[in-house]
Structure 1
Amino acid sequence: MTGAPNAAGWPHIYREGSANSSILLMLHGTGSNEQDIAQLAAELDPSAGVLAPRGRTQEKGMLRWFARRGEGLFDVDDVILRAGELAQFVGEAREQYGLGDRQFIAVGFSNGANIALATAMLHADVIDRVITFSGMYPFGDRTTEGDLSGSRFLVLNGRTDPMAPLESVTTVVQELRRQGADVEQVLRDGGHGVASSDLSAAVGWLKRL
């Protein structure tokens, strides 16, 4: 599928949330879907609105956000394309649901964390608040040159995660800070996943926004 559909044509979940609350843009991992990731929103902020779109690429029947050439080897051109599509979707959803100036906060796990990072780094005017669970640097050996001085990120990872190596995590944190972002990094023991300590850190970070 090529070309970004409008929000009405892109499978997604939308929940209104409390009046004037933030909207959690929930982005699932490989092999998961919008239904699964939307459930996590209530643990982060039960009053928030929820917008959970479905990844538009597939790998061996599993939903993803962008193509890759192997484990940890991303198709960077596709990353950039899909980040642009997601940014367009968010803008259209804002209009479709009459969300005005309600704040969007991207929350991604694994592949969803990677597309959240890519979208926020390339389209800071659309997404400037991000929580990543088990994400990594999404642009391979390329760098980007954006102004992220108003953006805030919470980056949560396991130190021994083979799917999101610490070297790549360090790169994304360094790049975000180099471009002016406010970055809080939390490392824990263990590997890929969303630990209870990650959730606690995310809830606390959201309350400080």
Structure 2
Amino acid sequence: MKHFFHNSKESDDVFILLHGTGGRETDLLPVAGQVDLSLSVLGIRGDVIDNGHFRYFKRNADGSMDEGSLLLKTSDVIHFIENAASTYEFEKKALHLIGYSNGANMAVSLLMHKPELFRSGLLLHPSHPLKSFDDTQLNGLDIFMTAGALDQIVLPSEAVQLKQHLSQLGASVSFFMTDHGHELRTTEFTEAAKWWKEKIKQEKKGK
């Protein structure tokens, strides 16, 4: 998979960036930079092409989510991340996902299928993939989610249902809703940074 890797000397932790439909592996660098500049960054480009746009998994003809494709590509992305950890020599247990839209849905699937690989997830405007999935425990996993009150692509109710689902699986979920649509807003970055700093503070207290 096409990707880039930035190695940090300041931290052993790594942000994994998963872009939205039509994006590139560098799209979420501003989010990672505002949340925490000290981390290494692995940006992954989706290798499914839909009308010339890069995605992580296919859609059905009616535009709905192809869960079969999501499951198949989830395995591919996990395999890629594990190989990248060996190639770039980073710890597999110090990974934090940042995903937007299609990339956020892939991040949800990654968390559900391989929770031990990740320490946290920032899910920007996800829908609710894998609604019936209840075969994993997300205890100890920190998740920050955002949604748009006027979003016509992902209804806010979908995001609320996902929050409830992840919480039922044991995750600690923080939720922020903008007054806008599906587009990313700077307020989301600011709130994500606040959440991250509080998370780090709590982790230090626990040591």
Find the partner of 1:69 among 31, 36, 60: 60
* Cα pair distance change 1:50/1:162, threshold 3 Å: same
- TM-score scaled by length of structure 2: 0.89
- Helix, strand or coil for the counterpart of 1:125? helix
The alpha-carbon deviation at position 62 of structure 1 amounts to 0.5
Q: In 1, Cα distance between the equivalents of 2:91 and 2:119? A: 16
The alpha-carbon deviation at position 72 of structure 1 amounts to 5.9
- Helix, strand or coil for the counterpart of 2:57? coil
Counting only pairs closer than 5 Å after superposition, residues 117-128 of structure 1 correspond to structure 2 as 117-128=108-119
Find the partner of 2:149 among 159, 162, 165: 159
The one-letter code matched in structure 1 to 2:181 is: G
CA contact (8 A) 1:133 1:193 kept: no
Stretch moving more, 22-31 or 80-89: 80-89
Q: In 2, Cα distance between the equivalents of 1:54 and 1:131? A: 17
Q: How many residues align?
A: 199
The one-letter code matched in structure 2 to 1:96 is: T
* Cα pair distance change 1:134/1:101, threshold 3 Å: closer
- TM-score scaled by length of structure 1: 0.88
Structure 1: gaps spanning 5 or more residues:
1-9
2:34 is equivalent to residue 34 of structure 1: no
Q: In 2, Cα distance between the equivalents of 1:104 and 1:29? A: 19
**Equivalent residue, structure 1, for 2:80:** 89
CA RMSD of aligned residues (A): 1.7
CA contact (8 A) 1:20 1:102 kept: no
Find the partner of 2:47 among 56, 79, 82: 56
The alpha-carbon deviation at position 20 of structure 1 amounts to 2.6
